[in-house]
Amino acid sequence: MQTDFYDEIQTLRNHGNPFVLATVVRAEKPTSAKVGAKAIVTEDGALTGWIGGSCAEPTVRREAKKALQDGQARLLRLCPAEKMGQAPQEGVIEVALTCISGGTLEIYIEPQLAQPHLVVIGHLATAEALVRLGHAMGWRLSLMGLEVSSERFPGADHVFDHLDFSKVAVTKHTQIVVASHGNYDEDMLVAALQSEAPYVAFIASKTRTNAVLQYLREASLTDEQISRLKYPAGLDIGSVTPEEIALSILAEIVQRRRQQSSTGMEHKSPTSNLELPMAPKPETEAIDPVCGMTVEIAAARFRSEYEGTTYYFCAAGCKRSFDREPQKYIQGIFPR
């Protein structure tokens, strides 16, 4: 069982998928989870392992999601409401759990963020510099181009010596740099911009870039897809040599990832000047009207409709209590 747990961690790391490792570091009886109990929580909220029952689990899922957004570890103290604030400690997040039988759990939430997956398109000096620097930073590297080999690019995890973009596993953690210098720019850019990669950069002169942009407009790309292209590639640090150009690009990727982590929002395309009005943010959490627990709406398994309003519950017991006497619980307590 423990072997399977750590195999799952290794699989997530091998595929570059972020996750949270939640560990029970203190348990005050009565609790179902004991010290050392562990669980893995992935981006989609799936939980593998054991860190407690129906009240602890949704709280850990919710805090795990926040940890993956801001990249910060946190220590949770889950305890009955009457024990809240009795021994306040800096950096400890206290959560009242009214549906457990008097016990307390302290759970350490540790985010394991995915390292960038850098895809380099090209075979010349700048591509070599990007692979070398990316490898030194511990990133996963895929290289695609003509006249390339593992011997020439030892820092790349995967080397594709033919131009078939479907062979590259692209996710929202993938960063793509087209550095083919006029050899096979157009087709590779079309494929890259059709993917879900959040960063697609193009290394070329202004004249060459204008010609390629015209090609992209005539290809089967939308204006939104074309607007995602970052050109010129990298931060403006006066780069001249291939190594300096590669450094400016990797620095830009780091900057964008850190900005996104701190705001929890996608980075705006630098080529777009269009400002769109922000839509109202949908509600993502509700209060269980029976026990007062915060419930994540999207993952809520238990819900009831009453007089046109949906109520969400942390456990089946709360739902049953509400369904028997809804008026008892809705007075002054409403979903938020």
**Cα-flanking dihedrals φ and ψ of residue 94, to 5°?**
-95, 135
Residue with tokens 């204006």: 223
pTM of the model: 0.64
Q: In the chain, what are the domain boundaries?
A: 14-112, 117-263, 285-330
How does pLDDT run across 15-44, given as a tens digit for each residue? 778 999 999 999 888 888 899 999 999 999
pLDDT above 90 as % of the chain: 54
How does pLDDT run across 259-308, given as a tens digit for each residue? 876 655 444 444 433 344 555 556 788 888 887 777 888 878 899 999 99
Asked if the model's pLDDT at residue 154 lies above 90, the reply is yes
Query: What pLDDT does residue 115 have?
Result: 80
Considering the four listed CATH numbers 3.40.50.720, 3.30.565.10, 3.50.50.60, 3.90.78.10, the one that applies to the domain covering 117-263 is: 3.40.50.720
**What is the dihedral sign for C-alpha 199, 244, 212, 152?**
negative
How does pLDDT run across 69-121, given as a tens digit for each residue? 888 999 999 888 777 766 667 778 888 776 655 788 999 999 998 888 999 99
Closest CA to 199 of 131, 286, 118, 108: 118
Helix crossing, 185-193 with 206-218: angle to 10°?
60
Mean model confidence pLDDT for the chain:
86
Helix crossing, 56-70 with 242-263: angle to 10°?
140
